[in-house]
Amino acid sequence: MTYCVGLHLREGLVLLSDTRTNAGVDNISVFSKMQVEEVPGERVLAVLSAGNLAVTQAVWNRLQEGVQLDGTRQTLRSVPNMFRAAQLVGQAVRDVYAADGPALKAQGIGFDISLMLGGQIAGEAPRLFLIYAAGNFIEATADTPFLQIGEHKYGKPILDRVVKHDTPVADGVKLVLISMDSTLRSNLTVGMPIDLLVYRADSLSVTLRKRITEENAYFRSIREGWSAALRQAYLEMPRPDWVP
């Protein structure tokens, strides 16, 4: 599996993905699940993916080669806005399904992928989308300013409680790392290193792109600090004095 989380904040976007892929428990590899297209001054788009690696890589390859949309071959570098970019990713998913779906089905393999697309194209605000295996999509809004794909449950309680649209970007980075840590701690199919992308609104260039390894001092402080803080919070909750 995979865990990817994206925050759609007033100050910009924070995207985080793990890198573990596995075909059975004895075949584990590191693959980045975050692909970035950048035309400084004009656009930054990032695609995060979860699910069957052959399928998600096929989607990415098609996106780079160009996908038919509105009667012409387009890429993430040519689409005029983020809505068209989300449609393009969805169309790439549908094209892969048309090409590979029957053969996958014949082998009993589901077409279970999902993607996240975040970024900004000059002329509109940053946007963040979740694209389903059917090629349709939803968009994060100020009401629910985060999206997740893959193993999303372990890391959701902290997001549900804390993230707001006006959370500062730096706090958002802290938050997605805590959310990722909870997932890493409880699920073996999500693994280090992790890829972080920070995009400040209207900068139209990548603010920060960073691979975080086990040795990263900040992430270690989060891991150790968060575990200690959870244990401490648990200790400080009142004890049920009504239990005989």
**Binding of its own copies at residue 214 (CB under 8 A)?**
no
CB of 14 to its own copies, least distance (A): 9
End-to-end alpha carbon distance in the chain: 43
Sort 10 into a burial class: Cβ within 10 Å, 0-12 / 13-18 / 19+.
middle
CB of 158 to its own copies, least distance (A): 6
**Binding of its own copies at residue 220 (CB under 8 A)?**
no
Judge contact between 44 and 37, C-beta under 8 A: yes
Instruction: Tell me the CA distances in angstroms from 126 to 14, 123, 145, one per residue in order.
Output: 11, 10, 12
**Binding of its own copies at residue 194 (CB under 8 A)?**
no
Q: How far apart are CA 52 and CA 74, in angstroms?
A: 24
**Binding of its own copies at residue 208 (CB under 8 A)?**
yes
Q: Is the Cβ of residue 143 or residue 242 nearer to its own copies in the bound state?
A: 242
Q: E strands along the chain, which residues?
A: 3-9, 12-18, 20-22, 28-30, 34-39, 43-51, 67-69, 72-74, 113-121, 127-131, 137-139, 146-150, 194-200, 208-212
**Binding of its own copies at residue 190 (CB under 8 A)?**
no
Instruction: Tell me the CA distances in angstroms from 103 to 82, 106, 114, one per residue in order.
Output: 32, 5, 19
The single residue among 175, 190, 194, 197 that binds its own copies, judged by CB under 8 A, is: 175
CB of 33 to its own copies, least distance (A): 20
CB of 81 to its own copies, least distance (A): 26
Instruction: Tell me the CA distances in angstroms from 119 to 17, 26, 116, 186, 197, one per residue in order.
Output: 15, 36, 10, 30, 10
**Binding of its own copies at residue 221 (CB under 8 A)?**
yes
CB of 220 to its own copies, least distance (A): 11
**Binding of its own copies at residue 240 (CB under 8 A)?**
yes
CB of 118 to its own copies, least distance (A): 16
The single residue among 98, 103, 106, 243 that binds its own copies, judged by CB under 8 A, is: 243
CB of 239 to its own copies, least distance (A): 5
Take residue 174 and report the two structure tokens written for it: 């802290």
Judge contact between 171 and 179, C-beta under 8 A: no
State which of positions 103-162 bind its own copies (CB under 8 A).
Answer: 151, 153-154, 156-158, 160-162
Pick the piece of the chain touching its own copies (CB under 8 A) from 2-10, 121-129, 135-143, 167-175.
167-175
Binding site for its own copies (CB under 8 A): 151, 153-154, 156-158, 160-162, 169-171, 173-175, 177-178, 182, 185-187, 198, 200, 207-208, 218, 221-222, 225-227, 229-234, 236-244
